[in-house]
């Protein structure tokens, strides 16, 4: 059965770096837009939608440490490499990847690659809102 879950980065609308990640965020459709049930600055939960919320969907995958993988996560990959026809070994890929949703599927991208979700060993090491320095760039 498909498990549809979201998390939300809730911030003040000005400084994207000054937010808070909230997990298992319910959303609802109002007929014109999605609204997310988040806790505001006074820690009061309510349905809210604005430019102050960045929603990220759960991919239904878990990393090698059993941590859920969400859109916006930063991951390390280990791939199976084969050398001269011998059975391969797991080796760490030197680049970090960001999990994105594109064309109705989840993909991983780096500065040089875009791939379908791999059948490799994955490890979540952060996300693009709390750990942008891992990707050496700014999140729009």
Residues 6+ apart with CB under 8 A from 88: 80, 81, 82
Which tokens belong to 62?
A: 């878990």
Which tokens belong to 92?
A: 């760490």
- Asked if residues 10 and 20 have their Cβ atoms less than 8 Å apart, the reply is yes
Residue spans of the domains in the chain: they are 6-135
Q: Among 20-24, 30-34, 126-130, which stretch is predicted with the lowest mean pLDDT?
A: 30-34
Question: What's the pTM value of the predicted model, to 2 decimals?
Answer: 0.79
Dihedral angle computed from the Cα positions of residues 100, 130, 9 and 136, in that order, rounded to the nearest 10 degrees? -40
Q: What is the pLDDT of residues 81-140, one digit of tens each?
A: 655 655 666 677 777 889 998 888 888 888 777 777 666 789 999 999 999 888 875 444
Please give the backbone phi and psi of residue 41, each rounded to the nearest 5 degrees, phi first.
-60, -25
Instruction: State mean pLDDT over 56-64.
Output: 92
Which contacts qualify for 104-112: CB closer than 8 Å, 24 or more apart?
Answer: 106/59, 106/61, 106/71, 108/75, 108/77
């Amino acid at each position: 059965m498909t498990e549809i879950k979201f998390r939300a980065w809730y911030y003040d609308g000005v400084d994207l770096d000054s937010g808070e990640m909230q997990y298992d965020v319910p959303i609802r459709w109002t007929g014109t837009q999605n609204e997310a049930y988040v806790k505001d600055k006074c820690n009061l939960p309510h349905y809210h939608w604005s430019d102050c919320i960045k929603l990220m969907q759960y991919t239904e995958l878990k990393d090698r440490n059993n941590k859920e993988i969400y859109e916006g996560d930063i991951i390390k990959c280990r791939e199976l490499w084969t050398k001269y026809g011998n059975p391969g070994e797991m080796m760490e890929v030197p680049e970090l990847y960001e999990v994105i949703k594109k064309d109705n599927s989840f993909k991983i991208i780096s500065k040089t690659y875009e791939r379908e979700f791999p059948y490799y060993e994955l490890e979540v090491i952060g996300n693009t809102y709390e750990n942008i320095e891992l990707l050496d760039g700014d999140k729009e």
